[in-house]
């Protein structure tokens, strides 16, 4: 969206001179954005000191492919030709496809909800199909063989519903701490924070269907890989031109992309981290 907005602005052309009187700015949405009822957006381009920053106030649409605009600090406003898609929601400006960690890569998952409420699932070999919970109570058995697999696959093809700065959830209570370990040594920690529903503590305001929201803070690291064997190479094999990405490199990429942000994931993803041992076992 940001790249598209930049391209649209670079191609914008003035179509018609509009008002230069501040009392009429609100009619077309180009009043100063510091005004409480401002209807436009401040779009600021910084050039690192090499050139004065450009600051535009983007107002209301003026029909298909048209928008009202005023350069901040100037009186004259214009109708320009520019196909802009604007939003004041953070989630609309950041990448929402955040991670793709398939269950085939995962060796172990640990869920810690505090006060001794823990669940660990794992598989011994990469080729194993199903994950098995640790410490299954004596006399109990899984409801079916693959019942734990959805927990391991919760980070496959993840697209966030919403995103906000991590600082905004720092004071929320931790609901669960999840740790995903892969066979190649990647360790991914998910610190899941719970935001109470609006009106929590007020039964009438919250309503019967009010649910909390869960925000995930990601942190990646690397440990020694579980599979240490190098693939066998035979005469005549074509070797790859580049080396595979290491766990350390992958952790660095994930931290660079995800650090500093809190993500709200779809419910069918985050629900996996609240499963308990009894949810995986056949009823007595």
Give how far the C-alpha of residue 55 lies from the chain's centroid of Cα atoms, to the nearest Å: 29
Sequence-ordered list of residues with C-beta below 8 angstroms from that of 178, at least 6 positions apart, any chain = 109, 110, 111, 112, 189, 190, 192, 273
Instruction: Indicate whether 64 pLDDT > 80.
Output: yes
Secondary structure of residue 208 in the 3-state scheme: coil
Tokens of 236: 């005549």
- The pTM of this model reads 0.69
Could you tell me the pLDDT band of residue 146, with boundaries at 50, 70 and 90?
Answer: very high
Question: Worst-scoring range by mean pLDDT, 59-73, 169-183, 225-239?
Answer: 225-239
| 106/128 Cα distance (integer angstroms) | 11
What would the pLDDT profile of 247-259 be if each residue is shown by its tens digit?
A: 999 999 999 999 9
Average pLDDT for the chain: 85
Instruction: Indicate whether 40 pLDDT > 90.
Output: no
| 69/31 Cα distance (integer angstroms) | 10
Identify the top-confidence range among 8-22, 44-58, 183-197: 183-197
What would the pLDDT profile of 163-204 be if each residue is shown by its tens digit?
A: 999 999 999 999 999 999 999 999 999 999 999 987 666 655
Residue predicted with more confidence, 231 or 90: 90
List Cα–Cα distances, 167 to 96, 177, 230, in angstroms.
19, 18, 42
**DSSP H stretches of helix in the chain:** 2-10, 25-28, 149-152, 203-206, 247-258, 267-270, 277-280
Asked if residues 275 and 111 have their Cβ atoms less than 8 Å apart, the reply is yes
């Amino acid at each position: 969206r940001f790249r598209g907005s930049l391209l649209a602005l670079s191609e914008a052309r003035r179509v018609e001179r509009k008002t230069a009187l501040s009392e009429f700015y609100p009619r077309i949405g180009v009043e100063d954005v510091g005004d409480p009822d401002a209807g436009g957006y401040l779009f600021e381009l910084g050039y690192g000191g090499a050139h004065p920053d450009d600051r535009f106030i983007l107002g209301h649409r003026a029909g298909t492919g048209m928008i009202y605009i005023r350069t901040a600090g100037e009186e004259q406003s214009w109708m320009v030709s520019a196909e802009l898609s604007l939003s004041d929601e953070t989630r609309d400006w950041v990448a929402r496809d955040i991670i793709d960690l398939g269950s085939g890569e995962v060796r172990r998952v640990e869920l810690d909800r505090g006060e001794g409420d823990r669940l660990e699932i794992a598989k011994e070999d990469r080729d194993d199909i199903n994950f098995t919970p640790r410490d299954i109570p004596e006399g109990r058995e899984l409801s079916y063989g693959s019942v734990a697999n959805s927990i391991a696959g919760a980070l496959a093809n993840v697209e966030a519903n919403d995103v906000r700065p991590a600082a905004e959830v720092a004071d929320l209570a931790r609901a669960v701490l999840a740790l995903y370990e892969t066979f190649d040594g990647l360790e991914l920690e998910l610190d899941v924070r719970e935001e109470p529903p609006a009106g929590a503590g007020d039964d009438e305001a919250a309503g019967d269907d009010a649910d909390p929201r869960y925000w995930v803070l990601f942190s990646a690291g690397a440990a020694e890989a579980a599979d240490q064997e190098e693939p066998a190479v035979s005469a005549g094999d074509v070797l790859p031109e580049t080396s595979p990405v290491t766990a350390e490199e992958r952790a660095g990429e994930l931290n660079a992309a995800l650090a500093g942000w809190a993500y709200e994931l779809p419910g069918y993803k985050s629900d996996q981290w609240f499963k308990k041992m009894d949810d995986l076992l056949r009823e007595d």
